Amino acid sequence: MDVESLYTNMTLVRILLTVQQAFHENPNLFRPDDAILKLLSLTLYNNDFEFDGQFFLQLRAVAMGRKYAPSTANLYLKELDHAATYRYHIHPLLYSRFPDDIFGIWPGTHSQLLTFQKFLNTIIPGIKLTITVRHQIIEFLDTQVYKHHSPDGSCSMYTKVFFKPTDTHQLLHRSSFHPTVPSNP
């Protein structure tokens, strides 16, 4: 499954609430929670950028270039992960998410999987999942995951590297416009 346009569909209020909830669930007397939340709010609500010679204020979503964007995205989808694993009457045999891509093994029928997808699409407003179903081999990130049936009747999953059709296997020379790394003193 893929979370459609995750970063651009994250609301600022929910980002702050999920970070605040994570602080509450993981207390640390030495962490300045209020100060962190104020700074996060400041950067979320005052993110301006230039495009085509004009300046804009981003009123929604987290900027993808922010260092905290992946962490806030993970917190943002925590409720979705919990619902996917525990709140549906059929539980995936495997559910694993890497920022906005989800890999799973479904024990039910195709129709039940589509109903599960509809359920997940109701968990967080604005967050929608698209689904790709394969029975033997599927691409996930830069891998292909495939089934192997042994002569004894057992079935195992294996992976191999996946190259997108647009990959030209071109590499840059290490001196190609890369900043020099100072040598250790």
Predicted pLDDT of residue 178: 61
Dump pLDDT digits (tens) for 102-137: 999 999 999 999 999 999 999 999 999 999 999 999
Q: Are 156 and 150 in contact (CB under 8 A)?
A: yes
Q: Where are any strands of DSSP class E within 46-154?
A: 48-51, 54-57, 94-98, 101-105, 129-130, 137-140, 143-149
* Rounded mean pLDDT, 88-94: 97
- Domain ranges (residues) in the chain: 2-130
Q: Are 127 and 80 in contact (CB under 8 A)?
A: yes
Residue 3 tokens read as: 């979370």
Q: Are 144 and 150 in contact (CB under 8 A)?
A: no
* Rounded mean pLDDT, 147-159: 93
Q: Which amino acid is at 92?
A: P
Residue 49 tokens read as: 């950028």
